[in-house]
A and B are shown apart, each in its own frame.
Chain A
Amino acid sequence: MRPSRVSSVQRRRSGSFWAALLTLVLAMYLTILPIPGWPLDYRPPWVVLALIFWCFAAPDRVGVLLGFCIGLMMDVLTGTLLGQHALTLSVTAYLAIMLRARIRIFPLWQQTFFVWLILLVERLLTLWVVGATGQPMPPLTYWTPSLISLFLWPFMSLLLTPMERRVGPS
């Protein structure tokens, strides 16, 4: 009886990896999908949000390495410097994993605030790379996507608890 239980947990964990990958690919798709009439500045940072979500839900499967790989794909997808998204997304994954245990016991609004902080760090790092490599500086609306996520995260965290119960660490 015992072996089959262990294996099912194992299978569920590797299943969580594939689910995370699928979600992240979907997030990338949403990032480059042109939507007519959609204001460019208000597009939520789908990939960053999905990465934080999976770092919270399955920290032993999703982490810095996956963030790095997804970042490289984002760089090629959106034509930015190779390594720009890789840097920001691996740092995002790291912060999410480190803060996870502390944040999970907080009330929702505090949790949202910390997620917002992670998103701000991601924006700041991107801005730093953009500035250091002499690319044109973005306008102030550059920061709006992180504000949009403030409203998105509470809904995502509703999904987090059942997901964690399914795939999270025992």
Chain B
Amino acid sequence: MVNADPKGVDAGPHFLDGDHALAEGALAAGCRFFAGYPITPSTETAERFAERAPEVGALFIQMEDELASIAALIGAAWGGQKVMTVTSGPGFSLMMENIGLAVMTETPMVIANVQRGGPSTGLPTLTAQQDMMQVRFGSHGDYNIIALSPDSPQECFDLAVWAFNLSEIYRVPVFIMTDETVGHMHEKVVIPPADRIRIVERNNYKGPKEDFRPYKFDCQGGHPMARAGDGYRFHITGLTHNERGYPAMTPEQNVKVLTHLMEKIDGNAEQIIRLEEDGLDDADVVVVSYGITSRIAIRAVHEARELGLKVGALRLITVWPFCEARIRELASRVKAIIVVEINYGQMVREAERCVAGRCRVVSVNHCGGAVHDPKVIVGAIKEAAL
């Protein structure tokens, strides 16, 4: 870890919306290449990056579509840059194929999805959390990724920095699953000075050419990349490949590659999963939430506690990998787990899988367009606590 490059760090207090804070977080993390395509409600991130790029020495390019944006990130990452794009619903769908290529070629990148209501064009200007399963399973084939969910503009900044660090360590696309409310909401954002921001630099291979391998299927992160132009003449492909990067299309090789792709994330879940817990020690009921919804859920938890109910809050800062161990442990000692989210019930499926019948699981979900009414959550807590 090194200190952030001060050139990208606009230190000090700001009054920013979540979209702008994402761009500042990316610049602070050392992102110097951004390819994007306008889409509500994510465009402000691209605009901020485009405005700041010249003074930081970064490059912004507006590509012809989201297919091109994510493809450009893959090229630029192997060209040696830290890279980012931002999108929403329809654009996220368009990116799916090359998210698979990024996963397969173990290319670090950060993709933010400022979620809006769907399906299709849906509710372009209104909030939702409907892409939580798509981010994990949307591209074809088995794979694994990391997804974080900020609840405020400040956390958009903080998680953007962390997302870049995680993507460098595990060589995997890291997603910031924010939403229209956080994206467009202005709050105070404090950007620390550069020497207080710790950055994971690109791990470029420097050894002898004949020993260079772009991959190591050891179920861990930390394997170095090569930068194009440095003389290692790497080859990468979306085909199932060997450690040299060459196509090796056999069932046996697929086991090696896939196990590595899955386990480098799942096997390091403890390092990747960040949770915020409040009042879980004596809780009968646990309210699980993430992103903007957690602010409403935590308010409801406070109100319920004032009514004398033993209720705690679990906020998922890391959404994927899912906090299986924590949910299993809680399920064995609480009456109910309530999952609150702005969709038809997505992460609640994960909770149900981990709970496996050991306690009640209640879904307080509603379709996209608005945040929850805290009263609805309080009502669910009351009922679950009975």
A and B form one complex = no
